[in-house]
């Protein structure tokens, strides 16, 4: 037979029923506590997430404003130095509806301003999808490099995108 007596087995059985009921009640209580505690945590997390999105939006706005201020400052600084400043909006507006052609931009060597200006033209053209094959320097004597910005279909365009006559 069994190593335990009938009374011992009945006692073990009754205690196991009691403990099973106690653990069942404990599991149900922990589920209720979890649900009650989890709801406020979700609200807190949602609020913190919203605050983080607002802080990110503020930081992005401040960065955009700082970039605009820097761009305006650089434009003023360049104009004070006598450097040409490309009016990108006007330049792009003049060329936006024109047929796109491959453009080659030339500038005078050892002229940092001319090189920068040619780069501004390149970026403006590429922003509207015009292919720019190259930026090259040229050697010509007795030429005013600030006179010619871009030749297109036999017309010379100045730094503002206005055709010259």
Residue 37: predicted pLDDT = 84
Most confident option among 31-40, 55-64, 76-85, 144-153: 55-64
Residue 114: predicted pLDDT = 80
Residue 110: predicted pLDDT = 76
Distance of alpha carbon 77 from alpha carbon 68, whole angstroms: 14
Q: Is the model's pTM score more than 0.85?
A: no
Determine the average pLDDT of the residues in 115-136.
82
| Average pLDDT of the chain, as a whole number | 78
User: What are the backbone dihedrals phi and psi of residue 107, each rounded to the nearest 5 degrees, phi first?
Assistant: -145, 160
Q: Are residues 6 and 55 in the same domain?
A: yes
Q: Are residues 2 and 75 in the same domain?
A: yes
- Which residue segment(s) compose the domain that 58 sits in? 1-82
The residues near 12 (Cβ < 8 Å, ≥ 6 apart) are: 4
Q: Are residues 67 and 106 in the same domain?
A: no
Residue 42: predicted pLDDT = 86
Q: Are residues 9 and 76 in the same domain?
A: yes
Residue 142: predicted pLDDT = 41
Our count of domains for the chain comes to 2
Segment 11-25, tens digit of pLDDT: 989 999 999 999 999
Q: Which of 82, 114, 136 is the last residue of a domain?
A: 82
Contacts 24+ apart (CB under 8 A), 92-95: 92/124, 92/127, 92/128, 92/161, 93/161, 94/157, 94/161, 94/162, 94/163, 95/125, 95/128, 95/130, 95/152, 95/161
**pLDDT above 70: percentage of residues in the chain:** 75
């Amino acid at each position: 037979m069994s190593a335990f007596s009938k009374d011992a087995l009945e006692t073990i059985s009754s205690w196991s029923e009691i403990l099973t009921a106690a653990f069942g009640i404990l599991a149900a209580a922990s589920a209720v506590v979890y649900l009650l505690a989890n709801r406020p945590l979700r609200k807190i997390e949602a609020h913190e997430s919203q605050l983080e999105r607002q802080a990110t939006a503020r930081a992005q706005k401040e960065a955009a404003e700082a970039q605009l201020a820097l761009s305006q400052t650089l434009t003023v600084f360049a104009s004070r130095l006598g450097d040409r400043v490309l009016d990108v909006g006007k330049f792009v507006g003049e060329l936006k509806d024109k047929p796109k052609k491959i453009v080659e931009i030339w500038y005078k060597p050892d002229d940092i301003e001319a090189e920068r200006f040619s780069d501004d033209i390149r970026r403006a053209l590429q922003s509207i999808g015009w292919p720019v094959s190259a930026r090259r320097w040229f050697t010509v004597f007795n030429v005013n490099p600030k006179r010619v910005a871009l030749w297109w279909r036999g017309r010379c365009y100045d730094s503002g995108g206005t055709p010259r006559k």
